[in-house]
Chain A
Amino acid sequence: MTLTDERTEEVAVNPRLERAARRRESWRGFLHAVPAYVYLIVFFVLPLIVVFVFSFASRSRTGRPELENWNVDGWTRLTDELVRTIVTRSLFVAALNTVLCLIIGYQFAYWIATRRKQSTRTILLILVLIPFWSNFLVRTYAWRMLLDSDGYITQLGELTGLWGRTLFTLPAVFLGLLYGYLPFMVLPLYAAIERIDWSLVEAGRDLYASGTKAFMKITLPLSRPGIVAGSILVFIPSLGAYVTPDILGGAKTTLLGNFIVTQFGAARNWPFGSALSSAILMVMLLATILYFRSGARTV
């Protein structure tokens, strides 16, 4: 402690001294954040800016960006027929996957959250956590194996005549994404539904007298934070999904994620890849703002 600090302790407080004390306290808070703050600025914020900047760069022979000739080629290419198809497909896949996860996940989370015994709820929740923590690659691989041409699913489909070879088709990608991201939807939904004060629903049933109406007017709005959080946690990664479409989708069902990777690999067009990434980032930022605005944040 400095000499001045010792001295200020011995005199009556005045607004100036108290402000100084508050400032010192704020400064302490800031110092705690500094390591993470600096780290994230260097290894997250600056890279974020660089991606945006490089989306205007020109392309050298090796595909690496050159900063000499500024252009908007990367961005104008976003309107190409091929890109439009891929973007539309990706948005469709991400949106449909979010809706599927929401429909299945809501019933599932509701079921777990309404079990009477705490121990039952805990065990069921652990059963959700295990696949959530399990290696995503392995989980995707499992479907690759099951859907393979001589795999059991194909055999079953051929036996019943209901479906044929599903690997490397869009339905296979959906299956993989649903499988991969369902736990991301279930966990926030569970957290929201479990917190609901059921006496409100009972009061609603008392007033509306219909279970469906009580659900639509009370339970659903009260679980909104979970719906928003879960939807973001599924939609954004689905939009940028790479591993799943790569393993289960094959060449005909290229999605945005794979398309971006291609730009940094075989296609050697980093500026265009940067423009595509920037576009995704903008969607993400929008979602983040919505998330914070909705008051859905739970921690």
Chain B
Amino acid sequence: MSIDGAPAVGLHGVTKKFGVDVVAVDDMGLEIRDGEFFSLLGPSGCGKTTTLRMIAGLEFPTDGSIQIFGDEMGLRPPNKRPVNTVFQSYALFPHMNVEQNVGFGLRMKGVDRSEEKQRVNEAIDLVRLSGLNTRRPGALSGGQQQRVALARALVNQPKVLLLDEPLGALDLKLRQTMQLELKDIQADVGITFIYVTHDQEEALTMSDRIGVMNEGKLVQVGVSEEIYESPANLFVASFVGDMSFLPAEVVEPGSVRLAGGEIVRAKTDSNPGTSVTLALRPEKLHLFANASEAPPDRNALSGTVTRRTFYGESLYYEVAVGASGSFDVRVENLPVMRRWEVGDEVVVDFHPDSTTALAE
């Protein structure tokens, strides 16, 4: 029986080994709340899909406990779990039409025919595929197939919906439309979504919370802002968004010395002498012609523009600061912004709070 207030999905010490020495998922602990849009983010091979498949019951953990609303799943087969999956390849049955595909789960559960028909039609309406009921998957576009896969899972009113890179096969424009639509549908049906993706932007825009995975381990869990603004380690920092990394040494709490000797005020409470990596987001840096133009009480470092890249809505400047390294600076492409040329002497300015000092 479900326990009130229990998390939608709870993972405790979940480990999955393939063969003797391949550890796909390593001692994972995670609680996903009811009604949450949770993303598992990470590069390919990080164990995120394996985690999802273990929740679905398509794979059994080597060790550990997976609970859905407090119910221990153990070795329960997928057909006896209150979850449904949207597969990366959609896995639509090619020999059944849209209606039969969507109705498959209800038919297997033994829901009576009139209720089945009604719920199938509702689900098809929900994903806006009305009128295509009798089409075979082969006669549908990629986006439409994606919607059928979604309807086929949602129609069963699962307690948790699992989505394995569902938008991976779609082109950029369609993917962006579907992202919004998925988010709306989730808000509409109120089901917990667990969404696996390697696309950090997708994870940031859609999720209530994100779990970042690397090499089988969960490295950080948090809301989008936390993940972006305060990455827990170098991996999260480099995987999510752009960043400049500079080696540094802590001088005293709140202050570090760069390789070139410049002292910079930064967010750190490590002991003096600790080696850290200073991480900076390009959009939080500003460029000025000289130190007097720069606002006071911030960090100002002199450097030279070594590269300029035009992105349309913005420009990226690479600025070399002596022996300390290079900073990437993003400047909005606005008429009021000054353009710099390669070779220009500039001052890089940033607020101490925009820095992250990551211990090795």
Contact = CB atoms under 8 A, between A and B. Distances in A.
- Do A and B interact directly, with beta carbons closer than 8 Å? yes
Nearest to A22: B60
| Chain A contact surface mostly | helix
A29 interface: no
A7 to B, nearest CB: 9
Given A18-B61, A18-B63, A21-B60, A13 B12 contact: no
A21 B72 CA distance: 16
A15 interface: yes
A21 B62 contact: no
B286 to A, nearest CB: 49
Interface residues of B, number: 14
B74 interface: yes
Contacts of A10: 72, 74
B75 A15 contact: no
Interface string A9-47: 111111101100100000000000000000000000000
A12 B74 contact: yes
B75 A8 contact: yes
Contacts of A21: 60, 75
Nearest to B65: A12
Nearest to B59: A18
B341 to A, nearest CB: 41
A240 to B, nearest CB: 42
Nearest to B67: A12
B62 A9 contact: no
B64 interface: yes
A12 B60 contact: no
A18 B73 CA distance: 13
Contacts of B298: none
B44 to A, nearest CB: 24
Q: How large is the interface on A (under 10, 10 to 19, 20 to 34, 35 or more residues)?
A: 10 to 19
Contacts of B61: 13, 18
A10 B68 CA distance: 12
Interface in B85-141: none
A15 to B, nearest CB: 5
B65 A17 contact: no
B307 interface: no
Contacts of A8: 74-75
Nearest to B16: A18
A13 B76 contact: no
Interface string B207-218: 000000000000
Given A18-B60, A18-B61, A12 B75 contact: no
B64 A17 contact: no
Contacts of A13: 60-66, 74-75
A18 B17 CA distance: 10
Contacts of A14: 63
A17 to B, nearest CB: 6
A17 B60 CA distance: 10
A18 to B, nearest CB: 5
Interface in B73-87: 73-76, 80
Interface in B9-56: 12
A101 to B, nearest CB: 38
Nearest to A13: B61
B62 A12 contact: no
A13 B15 CA distance: 10
B23 to A, nearest CB: 13
A14 B63 CA distance: 4
**Nearest 3 A-B pairs (CB), nearest first?**
A12-B65, A9-B74, A9-B76
Given A9-B76, A13-B64, A18-B63, 11 more contacts: A9-B72, A9-B80, A10-B74, A11-B74, A12-B12, A12-B74, A13-B65, A13-B74, A13-B75, A14-B63, A17-B75
